[in-house]
């Protein structure tokens, strides 16, 4: 199901994906505190407020340095800045969305991306009648044939695949051929990529199945 490479193009990736996923959650929690005017927070208070695990927070952060101040906890703005640096969010990352159907258009305009510095700079599609049109938020739809040229010109670093499953592998090959090293795929099946390219798959069915399991357990207990 997963692509055959484990990522890590320039060397071993020292931190698991589960850890980086948790760093994303901490980032979101700290941003909320920052917005609310909170200046410092202990790992315990952070954990209590956002339903996280305090020991896990300390362990995760310790992998990247000494961020806590004894008796004070974490200084919110400092830790926010460090987390953004660690996650590579201290610069804009231009993103292209391939496939200008409902899903592609929704992703191009998804407000959550913009908040954290992901900048959807272009949509791509094969359908002639879509080319030149724009998403509601104003992202232009380009001809997929121009991807290599535009990827270079716009500095695209991440390609989001929102194409039908039957086209997913061909599109993945094309974006990898254009030098893209990071792909977020919404295709229900997997795509194969060469080593040095990382694919992250969002499998919406897995999420629904976890809810189905929960409901099945509940039904069992009721009957």
Residues 134-163 that bind a copy of itself (CB under 8 A): 136, 157-158
Residues 6+ apart with CB under 8 A from 15: 63
Residue 213 CB, shortest distance to a copy of itself, in Å, is 5
Quickly list DSSP for 99-140: --SHHHHHHHT-HHHHHTTEEEEEEEES-GGGTT-B-TT-PB
Under 8 Å between Cβ of 89 and 29: no
Q: Among residue numbers 112 through 131, which ones bind a copy of itself (CB under 8 A)?
A: 112-113, 115-116, 118
Q: Among residue numbers 183 through 222, which ones bind a copy of itself (CB under 8 A)?
A: 183-184, 188, 198, 200, 202-222
Q: Which H or E element spans position 29?
A: helix 17-35
Q: Among residue numbers 3 through 62, which ones bind a copy of itself (CB under 8 A)?
A: 3-4, 7-11, 13, 15, 17, 20-21, 23-25, 27-29, 50-52
* Interface size with a copy of itself, residues (CB under 8 A): 76
The pattern of x and - marking residues 74 through 103 that bind a copy of itself according to CB under 8 A reads ------------xxxx---x-x-----xxx
Query: What is the rounded CA–CA span in Å between residue 40 and residue 188?
Result: 42
Regarding 73 and contact with a copy of itself (CB under 8 A), the answer is no
Quickly list DSSP for 59-88: HHHHTT---EETTTEEEHHHHHHHHHHHTT
Regarding 1 and contact with a copy of itself (CB under 8 A), the answer is yes
Nearer to a copy of itself, 72 or 137 (CB): 137
């Amino acid at each position: 199901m997963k692509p055959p490479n484990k990522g890590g193009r320039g060397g071993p990736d020292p931190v698991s994906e589960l850890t980086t996923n948790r760093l994303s959650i901490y980032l979101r929690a700290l941003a909320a505190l920052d917005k609310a005017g909170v200046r410092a927070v202990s790992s315990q208070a952070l954990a209590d407020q956002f339903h996280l695990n305090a020991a896990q927070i300390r362990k995760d952060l310790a992998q990247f340095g000494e961020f806590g101040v004894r008796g004070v906890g974490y200084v919110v703005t400092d830790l926010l800045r460090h987390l953004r640096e660690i996650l590579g969010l201290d610069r804009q990352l231009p993103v292209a969305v391939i496939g200008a159907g409902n899903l592609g258009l929704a992703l191009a305009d998804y407000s959550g991306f913009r908040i954290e510095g992901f900048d959807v700079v272009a949509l791509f599609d094969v359908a002639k009648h879509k080319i030149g049109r724009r998403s509601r938020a104003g992202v232009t739809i380009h001809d997929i044939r121009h991807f290599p040229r535009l990827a270079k010109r716009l500095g695209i670093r991440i390609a989001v695949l929102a194409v039908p499953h039957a086209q997913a592998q061909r599109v993945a090959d094309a974006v990898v051929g254009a030098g893209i090293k990071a792909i977020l795929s919404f295709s229900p099946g997997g795509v194969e990529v060469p080593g040095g390219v990382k694919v992250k798959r969002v499998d919406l069915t897995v999420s629904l199945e976890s809810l189905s399991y929960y409901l099945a357990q509940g039904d069992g207990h009721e009957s």
